[in-house]
Amino acid sequence: MDLAMLLFIYSDKLPDIYEVMDSMNVCSYAVMVQHLLAAADLYNLDRLKLLCESKLCEEINTDNVATTLALAEQHHCPQLKAICLKFIANPANLGGMYHFRI
């Protein structure tokens, strides 16, 4: 994570996440970007936070929408939160999940 933040600070660009993942033991692109977003929020790196938020908006799926929504709420990411809620509100996106009766 530190490497990714340093690369951003010196280049003002989102680093190659896959390259950073190779140096860490992280198995998922989305998980890596989630951690980077949390770090960007902690250190007030607003541009990095926006870049991560944008990347996460592209990665929303049924496997990560709940954790991404929680992350968006926790780190005050309105765009990401809106995308998550829009994804959840679309029945076609959740069609592959189990149906539960109440």
The answer to whether the predicted template modeling score (pTM) of the entire model surpasses 0.85 is no
Burial 29-42 (b: 16+ CB within 10 A, else e): ebebbbbbbbbbbe
Tens of pLDDT along 68-78?
999 999 999 99
In one-letter notation, the amino acid at residue 88 is: I
Tens of pLDDT along 50-67?
999 999 999 999 989 999
- For the chain, what are the domain ranges? 2-89
70: tokens are 């929680």
**Residue 78 CB contacts under 8 Å (≥ 6 apart), including other chains:** 72
CATH 3.40.50.970 fits 2-89, yes or no: no
The torsion of the CA quartet 48, 54, 59, 64, rounded to 10 degrees, works out to 70
